[in-house]
Chains A and B, each alone.
Chain A
Amino acid sequence: KQEVTQIPAALSVPEGENLVLNCSFTDSAIYNLQWFRQDPGKGLTSLLLIQSSQREQTSGRLNASLDKSSGRSTLYIAASQPGDSATYLCAATGSARQLTFGSGTQLTVLP
């Protein structure tokens, strides 16, 4: 059974700092790894998806990497802004198209 872990559970940084969020998974037989953002009481916004054959994806100030062999993914946020404050979730997709989510990292960017 796939298990996904995210560290740290919470992170508070000053505006402008670069930061890294970590995600690990136990079963490397994944189809892709997806990073989401969730604002309080809202749904999930997809940020980046890395297919199993890829090593990284970039979108603006965000960069996500995937290392299937070690069961790890990282989300790098450059030059953080207060608007980046949210909960970030990673999810692994298995063969049944079912997403297994981590418990999330709650990010606060202080002005």
Chain B
Amino acid sequence: KAGVTQTPRYLIKTRGQQVTLSCSPISGHRSVSWYQQTPGQGLQFLFEYFSETQRNKGNFPGRFSGRQFSNSRSEMNVSTLELGDSALYLCASTLSLGTGSYEQYFGPGTRLTVT
């Protein structure tokens, strides 16, 4: 079974631009979560999508948004980029273990550099 795929792997953008990142979860997984990883803040939860609906959101400004399509693929968008948005953005595909517990599988990430 193919793992979680993220595209593109690397991006360089300029302040003020916007960017869209894509994530395809493991086949059969309906939930996708996004995380931001920076050296200063570590790994922080952005949002989670399930069946095309945002189910949970972390503490990030409204410049960060996302969506999920009917095939479970997800995109996240960052508008009006700031230097501080430079980070590794990780997507996770969630498997329900049927006991109220979940296991998350991560993609390789998209490295975004804002100049």
Q: Of the 9-residue stretches B62-70, B77-85, B97-105, which lies at the interface with chain A?
A: B97-105
B69 to chain A, nearest CB (A): 20
A58 at the binding interface (Cβ < 8 Å): no
Q: Is the CB of B42 within 8 A of A52?
A: no
Give chain A interface residues in 71-105, CB to chain B under 8 Å: 89, 91, 93, 96-104
Tell me how many residues of A have a C-beta within 8 Å of chain B: 26
Question: Which of these, B31, B58, B99, contacts A97 with CB under 8 Å?
Answer: B31
Question: Which of these, A34, A49, A104, contacts B42 with CB under 8 Å?
Answer: A104
A51 at the binding interface (Cβ < 8 Å): yes
Known contacts A97-B31, A97-B56; decide if A51 and B101 are in contact (CB<8 Å).
Answer: yes
Question: Which of these, B4, B35, B101, B106, contacts A32 with CB under 8 Å?
Answer: B101
Q: Is the CB of B48 within 8 A of A98?
A: yes
Tell me how many residues of B have a C-beta within 8 Å of chain A: 29
A41–B112 alpha-carbon span in the complex (Å):
12
Q: Is the CB of B102 within 8 A of A97?
A: yes
Q: Find the B residue at minimum CB distance from A96.
A: B56
Question: Residues on B close to A: CB < 8 A?
Answer: 4, 6, 31, 33, 35, 42-43, 45, 48, 55-56, 58, 88, 90, 92, 94, 97, 99-109, 111
Q: Could you list 19 A-B pairs, sorted by A, with CB under 8 Å? A: A31-B101, A32-B102, A36-B106, A41-B88, A42-B109, A43-B106, A43-B107, A43-B108, A46-B103, A46-B106, A49-B101, A51-B99, A53-B99, A97-B33, A98-B33, A98-B48, A99-B33, A99-B45, A99-B92
Question: Residues on A close to B: CB < 8 A?
Answer: 31-32, 34, 36, 41-46, 49, 51-53, 89, 91, 93, 96-104
